[in-house]
Structure 1
Amino acid sequence: MLKAKVAAHLILVNGRNEILMLRRFNTGFKDGEYGLVAGHVEDGESLKSAMIREAREEASIVLSPDEMEVVGVIPSLFDEYVYFFLSVDGWRGDAKNMEPDKCDDMRWFHLGDLPENTVSYIRQAIGNYV
Protein backbone atom coordinates (compact mmCIF):
# COMPACT_ATOMS: atom_id res chain seq x y z
CA MET A 1 0.00 0.00 0.00
CA LEU A 2 1.36 3.41 -1.00
CA LYS A 3 1.49 5.96 1.79
CA ALA A 4 1.68 9.51 0.50
CA LYS A 5 4.15 11.93 2.01
CA VAL A 6 2.78 15.34 2.92
CA ALA A 7 4.36 18.76 2.52
CA ALA A 8 2.97 22.05 3.83
CA HIS A 9 3.48 25.35 1.96
CA LEU A 10 2.82 28.83 3.31
CA ILE A 11 0.99 31.43 1.24
CA LEU A 12 2.07 34.53 3.15
CA VAL A 13 0.66 37.73 1.67
CA ASN A 14 1.35 41.18 3.11
CA GLY A 15 -0.81 44.31 3.01
CA ARG A 16 0.71 45.37 -0.33
CA ASN A 17 -0.61 42.22 -2.04
CA GLU A 18 2.90 40.71 -2.11
CA ILE A 19 3.75 37.09 -1.41
CA LEU A 20 6.91 35.91 0.35
CA MET A 21 8.98 33.66 -1.92
CA LEU A 22 12.33 31.90 -1.59
CA ARG A 23 14.75 30.83 -4.33
CA ARG A 24 15.82 27.24 -3.76
CA PHE A 25 19.55 26.60 -3.55
CA ASN A 26 21.64 23.49 -2.99
CA THR A 27 18.62 21.28 -2.17
CA GLY A 28 18.63 18.88 -5.11
CA PHE A 29 15.01 19.74 -6.00
CA LYS A 30 14.06 22.67 -8.23
CA ASP A 31 17.22 24.60 -7.35
CA GLY A 32 17.26 28.08 -8.87
CA GLU A 33 13.46 28.29 -8.83
CA TYR A 34 11.25 30.26 -6.46
CA GLY A 35 8.99 28.52 -3.99
CA LEU A 36 7.32 29.21 -0.68
CA VAL A 37 8.21 28.63 2.94
CA ALA A 38 7.53 24.91 3.07
CA GLY A 39 8.51 21.58 4.49
CA HIS A 40 7.67 17.98 5.17
CA VAL A 41 5.04 17.08 7.72
CA GLU A 42 6.74 14.74 10.17
CA ASP A 43 5.12 11.61 11.62
CA GLY A 44 2.62 12.56 14.30
CA GLU A 45 2.69 16.24 13.33
CA SER A 46 -0.34 18.19 12.08
CA LEU A 47 -0.28 20.37 8.97
CA LYS A 48 -0.53 23.52 11.06
CA SER A 49 2.19 22.41 13.48
CA ALA A 50 4.50 21.65 10.56
CA MET A 51 3.79 25.05 9.01
CA ILE A 52 4.46 26.83 12.30
CA ARG A 53 7.78 24.97 12.64
CA GLU A 54 8.87 25.60 9.06
CA ALA A 55 7.96 29.31 9.18
CA ARG A 56 10.09 29.72 12.28
CA GLU A 57 13.01 27.65 10.93
CA GLU A 58 13.09 29.14 7.42
CA ALA A 59 11.86 32.71 7.83
CA SER A 60 12.00 33.54 11.57
CA ILE A 61 8.29 34.35 11.72
CA VAL A 62 5.76 33.21 14.29
CA LEU A 63 2.37 31.89 13.20
CA SER A 64 -0.77 31.09 15.17
CA PRO A 65 -2.73 27.94 14.29
CA ASP A 66 -5.98 29.83 14.88
CA GLU A 67 -5.16 32.21 12.01
CA MET A 68 -4.28 29.52 9.44
CA GLU A 69 -6.48 27.75 6.93
CA VAL A 70 -5.89 25.23 4.17
CA VAL A 71 -6.50 26.99 0.85
CA GLY A 72 -5.31 24.36 -1.61
CA VAL A 73 -4.16 20.79 -2.21
CA ILE A 74 -2.15 19.55 -5.18
CA PRO A 75 -1.02 15.94 -5.68
CA SER A 76 2.57 15.81 -6.89
CA LEU A 77 3.35 14.98 -10.49
CA PHE A 78 6.96 14.15 -9.54
CA ASP A 79 6.73 11.73 -6.63
CA GLU A 80 4.47 10.37 -3.89
CA TYR A 81 3.85 13.74 -2.21
CA VAL A 82 0.64 15.60 -1.61
CA TYR A 83 1.21 19.36 -1.33
CA PHE A 84 -1.00 21.36 1.03
CA PHE A 85 -1.14 25.16 0.91
CA LEU A 86 -2.03 27.20 3.97
CA SER A 87 -2.70 30.91 4.24
CA VAL A 88 -2.48 32.96 7.39
CA ASP A 89 -4.24 36.14 8.49
CA GLY A 90 -1.33 37.46 10.51
CA TRP A 91 2.14 36.70 11.82
CA ARG A 92 4.75 38.09 14.17
CA GLY A 93 8.28 39.03 13.19
CA ASP A 94 10.06 40.27 10.11
CA ALA A 95 10.76 37.60 7.52
CA LYS A 96 14.45 36.87 7.07
CA ASN A 97 16.37 34.04 5.44
CA MET A 98 17.33 31.62 8.20
CA GLU A 99 18.61 28.90 5.84
CA PRO A 100 21.12 30.52 3.45
CA ASP A 101 22.52 27.05 2.72
CA LYS A 102 19.14 26.10 1.14
CA CYS A 103 17.84 29.47 -0.04
CA ASP A 104 19.90 32.14 -1.81
CA ASP A 105 17.13 34.76 -2.10
CA MET A 106 14.04 35.61 -0.07
CA ARG A 107 11.78 38.49 -0.99
CA TRP A 108 8.25 39.75 -1.51
CA PHE A 109 6.75 39.60 -5.02
CA HIS A 110 3.49 41.18 -6.12
CA LEU A 111 0.87 38.47 -6.66
CA GLY A 112 0.41 39.69 -10.23
CA ASP A 113 4.14 39.64 -11.02
CA LEU A 114 5.67 36.35 -9.91
CA PRO A 115 9.22 35.54 -11.04
CA GLU A 116 9.49 33.61 -14.31
CA ASN A 117 11.45 30.88 -12.52
CA THR A 118 8.68 29.98 -10.07
CA VAL A 119 8.22 26.24 -9.45
CA SER A 120 5.30 25.21 -11.69
CA TYR A 121 3.06 23.68 -9.04
CA ILE A 122 3.71 26.69 -6.77
CA ARG A 123 2.62 29.03 -9.58
CA GLN A 124 -0.52 26.92 -10.02
CA ALA A 125 -1.33 27.03 -6.29
CA ILE A 126 -0.84 30.81 -6.11
CA GLY A 127 -3.02 31.24 -9.21
CA ASN A 128 -5.74 29.14 -7.60
CA TYR A 129 -5.44 31.21 -4.42
CA VAL A 130 -5.84 34.60 -6.08
Structure 2
Amino acid sequence: MTLLAAALIVHDRAAGRVVLLRRGERAKFGRGLWDLPVGKSEPGEPVTTTAVRELYEETGLTVRPEALEVAHLIHGARGVEAPGGYLTVVFAAHEWSGEPENREPAKHAEVRWTGIGELPVNCVPGTRHALSGYLGGGPRVSLDGWGRPGDRAGTA
Protein backbone atom coordinates (compact mmCIF):
# COMPACT_ATOMS: atom_id res chain seq x y z
CA MET A 1 0.00 0.00 0.00
CA THR A 2 1.24 3.50 -0.85
CA LEU A 3 1.52 5.97 2.03
CA LEU A 4 -0.04 9.38 1.37
CA ALA A 5 1.70 12.41 2.86
CA ALA A 6 1.50 16.18 2.53
CA ALA A 7 4.16 18.88 2.74
CA LEU A 8 3.71 22.63 2.70
CA ILE A 9 5.81 25.46 1.28
CA VAL A 10 4.83 28.59 3.19
CA HIS A 11 6.06 31.25 0.76
CA ASP A 12 6.31 34.88 1.79
CA ARG A 13 6.61 36.35 -1.70
CA ALA A 14 7.04 39.94 -0.47
CA ALA A 15 10.06 39.06 1.71
CA GLY A 16 11.37 36.30 -0.58
CA ARG A 17 11.44 33.59 2.07
CA VAL A 18 10.02 30.17 2.98
CA VAL A 19 9.56 28.26 6.24
CA LEU A 20 11.95 25.35 6.76
CA LEU A 21 12.65 23.07 9.69
CA ARG A 22 15.83 21.19 10.54
CA ARG A 23 15.16 17.60 11.49
CA GLY A 24 16.50 16.64 14.91
CA GLU A 25 18.78 13.83 16.05
CA ARG A 26 15.77 11.66 16.99
CA ALA A 27 13.98 12.13 13.66
CA LYS A 28 12.90 8.93 11.86
CA PHE A 29 14.59 10.11 8.64
CA GLY A 30 16.75 12.97 7.44
CA ARG A 31 18.50 13.60 10.76
CA GLY A 32 20.11 17.05 10.71
CA LEU A 33 18.71 17.89 7.26
CA TRP A 34 16.42 20.78 6.38
CA ASP A 35 12.88 19.91 5.35
CA LEU A 36 9.43 21.32 4.75
CA PRO A 37 6.68 20.80 7.30
CA VAL A 38 5.47 17.34 6.26
CA GLY A 39 3.52 14.38 7.59
CA LYS A 40 1.43 11.39 6.68
CA SER A 41 -2.32 11.44 6.16
CA GLU A 42 -4.54 9.81 8.75
CA PRO A 43 -7.07 7.24 7.47
CA GLY A 44 -9.99 9.05 5.83
CA GLU A 45 -8.26 12.46 6.01
CA PRO A 46 -8.15 14.65 2.90
CA VAL A 47 -4.58 15.51 1.90
CA THR A 48 -5.30 19.25 2.22
CA THR A 49 -6.35 18.68 5.83
CA THR A 50 -3.12 16.75 6.39
CA ALA A 51 -1.05 19.68 5.10
CA VAL A 52 -2.86 22.21 7.30
CA ARG A 53 -2.71 19.95 10.37
CA GLU A 54 0.98 19.08 10.01
CA LEU A 55 1.94 22.71 9.45
CA TYR A 56 0.17 23.75 12.64
CA GLU A 57 1.49 20.82 14.68
CA GLU A 58 5.09 21.45 13.62
CA THR A 59 5.28 25.25 13.32
CA GLY A 60 2.18 26.83 14.88
CA LEU A 61 1.31 28.51 11.56
CA THR A 62 -2.28 28.39 10.35
CA VAL A 63 -3.40 28.28 6.72
CA ARG A 64 -6.80 27.72 5.14
CA PRO A 65 -7.16 24.52 3.10
CA GLU A 66 -8.84 26.42 0.26
CA ALA A 67 -5.76 28.68 -0.04
CA LEU A 68 -3.44 25.78 -0.90
CA GLU A 69 -1.97 25.34 -4.37
CA VAL A 70 -0.41 22.10 -5.59
CA ALA A 71 3.30 22.85 -6.06
CA HIS A 72 4.97 19.46 -6.54
CA LEU A 73 4.48 15.67 -6.29
CA ILE A 74 7.07 13.29 -4.87
CA HIS A 75 6.55 9.59 -5.61
CA GLY A 76 8.93 7.28 -3.77
CA ALA A 77 9.32 3.56 -4.34
CA ARG A 78 9.88 3.02 -0.60
CA GLY A 79 10.34 5.05 2.56
CA VAL A 80 11.14 4.75 6.26
CA GLU A 81 7.52 4.06 7.18
CA ALA A 82 6.41 3.14 3.67
CA PRO A 83 7.88 -0.13 2.37
CA GLY A 84 5.16 -0.10 -0.32
CA GLY A 85 6.07 3.41 -1.45
CA TYR A 86 4.76 6.89 -0.75
CA LEU A 87 3.21 9.85 -2.51
CA THR A 88 3.82 13.29 -1.03
CA VAL A 89 1.68 16.13 -2.31
CA VAL A 90 3.60 19.36 -1.79
CA PHE A 91 1.37 22.41 -1.49
CA ALA A 92 2.25 26.10 -1.47
CA ALA A 93 0.53 28.76 0.62
CA HIS A 94 0.98 32.51 0.39
CA GLU A 95 -1.38 33.47 3.22
CA TRP A 96 -0.94 32.33 6.82
CA SER A 97 -1.35 33.53 10.36
CA GLY A 98 1.15 33.30 13.19
CA GLU A 99 4.92 33.23 13.43
CA PRO A 100 6.88 30.00 12.99
CA GLU A 101 8.01 28.25 16.14
CA ASN A 102 9.36 24.79 16.89
CA ARG A 103 6.34 23.02 18.34
CA GLU A 104 7.91 19.55 18.12
CA PRO A 105 11.39 19.92 19.66
CA ALA A 106 11.70 16.14 20.09
CA LYS A 107 11.57 15.81 16.27
CA HIS A 108 13.02 19.09 15.02
CA ALA A 109 16.10 21.06 16.00
CA GLU A 110 14.93 24.36 14.49
CA VAL A 111 12.12 26.06 12.55
CA ARG A 112 12.76 29.35 10.73
CA TRP A 113 12.15 31.60 7.78
CA THR A 114 14.87 31.14 5.13
CA GLY A 115 15.56 33.46 2.21
CA ILE A 116 14.95 31.80 -1.14
CA GLY A 117 18.44 32.89 -2.22
CA GLU A 118 19.93 31.28 0.90
CA LEU A 119 18.35 27.83 0.84
CA PRO A 120 20.56 25.28 2.62
CA VAL A 121 22.36 22.66 0.56
CA ASN A 122 21.77 19.97 3.20
CA CYS A 123 18.05 19.41 2.54
CA VAL A 124 16.06 16.20 2.41
CA PRO A 125 16.38 15.32 -1.33
CA GLY A 126 12.63 15.44 -2.04
CA THR A 127 12.45 18.86 -0.40
CA ARG A 128 15.34 20.15 -2.51
CA HIS A 129 13.63 18.93 -5.70
CA ALA A 130 10.23 20.32 -4.67
CA LEU A 131 11.64 23.75 -3.77
CA SER A 132 13.76 24.03 -6.93
CA GLY A 133 10.81 22.96 -9.09
CA TYR A 134 8.40 25.33 -7.40
CA LEU A 135 10.69 28.36 -7.05
CA GLY A 136 12.61 27.92 -10.29
CA GLY A 137 9.90 26.77 -12.65
CA GLY A 138 11.49 23.32 -12.97
CA PRO A 139 9.97 19.85 -12.87
CA ARG A 140 6.85 19.49 -10.72
CA VAL A 141 7.19 15.72 -10.21
CA SER A 142 10.03 13.88 -8.47
CA LEU A 143 10.58 10.13 -8.54
CA ASP A 144 12.70 8.47 -5.87
CA GLY A 145 14.08 4.94 -5.88
CA TRP A 146 12.31 3.48 -8.87
CA GLY A 147 15.51 2.18 -10.46
CA ARG A 148 14.85 3.42 -13.98
CA PRO A 149 17.22 5.70 -15.91
CA GLY A 150 16.64 9.30 -14.90
CA ASP A 151 15.07 8.44 -11.56
CA ARG A 152 18.35 8.79 -9.68
CA ALA A 153 18.23 12.52 -10.32
CA GLY A 154 14.92 12.60 -8.51
CA THR A 155 12.85 14.26 -11.19
CA ALA A 156 10.63 13.20 -14.03
TM-score after normalising by structure 1? 0.93
Is 2:106 aligned against 1:108? no
Q: Residue 48 of structure 1 aligns with which residue?
A: 48
Secondary structure of 1:13's match? strand
Q: Residue 73 of structure 1 aligns with which residue?
A: 73
Percentage of pairs with the same residue: 30
Q: Structure 2, unaligned stretches of length 5 or more?
A: 80-84, 136-156
Q: Residue 10 of structure 2 aligns with which residue?
A: 12
Task: Please tell me whether Structure 1 or Structure 2 has the larger radius of gyration of its CA atoms.
Answer: 2
Question: Hey, what's the Cα distance between the residues in 2 that align with 1:113 and 1:76?
Answer: 27
Q: CA deviation at 1:78?
A: 4.0
Letter in structure 1 aligned against 2:37: V
- 2:91 pairs, out of 76, 83, 86, with 86
- 2:126 pairs, out of 118, 121, 125, with 121
Question: Hey, what's the Cα distance between the residues in 2 that align with 1:118 and 1:7?
Answer: 18
Q: CA deviation at 1:113?
A: 2.0
Question: Hey, what's the Cα distance between the residues in 2 that align with 1:110 and 1:47?
Answer: 27
Question: Hey, what's the Cα distance between the residues in 2 that align with 1:54 and 1:10?
Answer: 9
Question: Hey, what's the Cα distance between the residues in 2 that align with 1:16 and 1:119?
Answer: 24
Q: Structure 1, unaligned stretches of length 5 or more?
A: none
Is 2:95 aligned against 1:97? no
Is 2:67 aligned against 1:61? no
Once the two structures are superposed, what CA deviation does each residue of 1:64-122 show, in whole Å capped at 9, x if it has no partner? Answer: 01111111101115431111100112011111110011001111112222112111111
CA contact (8 A) 2:19 2:111 kept: yes
CA contact (8 A) 2:100 2:113 kept: no
Question: Hey, what's the Cα distance between the residues in 2 that align with 1:65 and 1:7?
Answer: 15
Question: Hey, what's the Cα distance between the residues in 2 that align with 1:107 and 1:61?
Answer: 12
Q: Residue 23 of structure 1 aligns with which residue?
A: 22
Question: Hey, what's the Cα distance between the residues in 1 that align with 2:61 and 2:10?
Answer: 11
CA contact (8 A) 2:39 2:54 kept: yes
